[in-house]
Amino acid sequence: MRIQDKVVVVTGGASGLGLATARYLVEEKGAKVALFDVNEDAGQRAAAELGEKAIFVRADITSDDSVRQAVAATAARFGAVHACINCAAILGPSKVLDKEGRAPPLARFAQMAMVNLVGVFNVMSQCAEQMAKNEPEAGEERGVVINISSGAAFEGQVGQCAYASTKAGVIGLNMPAARELGVYGIRVNAIAPGLFLTPMAAQLDPKVIEALKAQTEAPNRLGDPREFAHCCAFIIENAYLNGETIRLDAASRLRAR
């Protein structure tokens, strides 16, 4: 799918990899973007920075109504939705047993599952409904979904039970969703990123950054958010890529701790 003038929804679009991707798609590819996020101040600043080809829509991805209204607002502003990139996620510790050997409260695991997996499905589903209304490009494509997983889906670390399992669930969406939505001309793929130098990571102590770099293979550095954005653009543009997960991690593998 050609990206020029296409409409892309980016969840978690107010910061981090989401904002970097939105910026790349607008500035390098000529896309129009809708930034879905719960951080209203950051979202409004990001949309203002990106200019007339961007809007911010406050959206709670765990809410049916909130996402429905956000998708409708995007279609009302730009006329369509052609792609969605699900970057929104939360990260936090989650173990099977706590330090005292007791089962922890379920709420934290459930919250992460709601955002990282249920929220991804919610946005994918409602964006796909809008994409199905598009005229097919080149007689075959109406839309593209990119769901963001993590290297933790493959090598989850100690304390990542909730995060790793929800990110593995994102990968599990690929094939059944790609098979189901193919009849509408909608492709579904995922990216499992490794360690990236987001603005939040850049604020870490230099010693911490060096320790993170030591976990990468080649190139021996943290990823540039533009490299993540470029991967998203590649997936949108390559019409034969479907049902796949791309590990974008410099051949690094997470250690147990």
- Looking at residue 215, what is its pLDDT? 83
Nearest to 147 by CA among 72, 62, 63, 235: 235
Q: Are 119 and 125 in contact (CB under 8 A)?
A: no
The answer, yes or no, to whether residue 153 has pLDDT greater than 90, is yes
DSSP state of 101: S
The sign of the CA dihedral 6, 128, 195, 51 is positive
DSSP string, 207-250: HHHHHHHTT--SS-SPBPHHHHHHHHHHHHH-TT--S-EEEEST
- Looking at residue 179, what is its pLDDT? 98
- Looking at residue 44, what is its pLDDT? 98
Nearest to 188 by CA among 105, 109, 124: 124
Structure confidence by residue, pLDDT tens digits, 43-94: 999 999 999 999 999 999 999 999 999 999 999 999 999 999 999 999 889 9
Q: What is the mean pLDDT of residues 240-254?
A: 94
The answer, yes or no, to whether residue 21 has pLDDT greater than 80, is yes
Structure confidence by residue, pLDDT tens digits, 194-216: 999 887 677 778 887 888 788 88
Domain ranges of the chain: 7-196+223-248
Q: What is the mean pLDDT of residues 107-116?
A: 96
- Looking at residue 27, what is its pLDDT? 98
Burial class (CB in 10 A: 0-12, 13-18, 19+), 132: middle
Q: What is the mean pLDDT of residues 129-148?
A: 97
The answer, yes or no, to whether residue 257 has pLDDT greater than 90, is no
- C-alpha 8/C-alpha 32 separation (Å) is 6
- Looking at residue 207, what is its pLDDT? 83
- C-alpha 26/C-alpha 32 separation (Å) is 6
- C-alpha 189/C-alpha 232 separation (Å) is 10
Alpha helices in the chain (DSSP H): 16-27, 40-50, 64-78, 107-113, 119-131, 161-181, 199-202, 206-213, 225-237
Query: Any idea of the CA torsion for 109, 110, 115, 116, to the nearest 10 degrees?
Result: 50
Q: Is the pTM of this model over 0.85?
A: yes
Indicate left, alpha or beta for 51 from its phi (over 0: left) and psi (-120 to 50: alpha). left
Which residues are known to be catalytic?
A: 163
CATH architecture of 7-196+223-248: 3-Layer(aba) Sandwich (3.40)
**Amino acid symbol at 150:** S
- Looking at residue 181, what is its pLDDT? 98
Of 131 and 91, more confident = 131
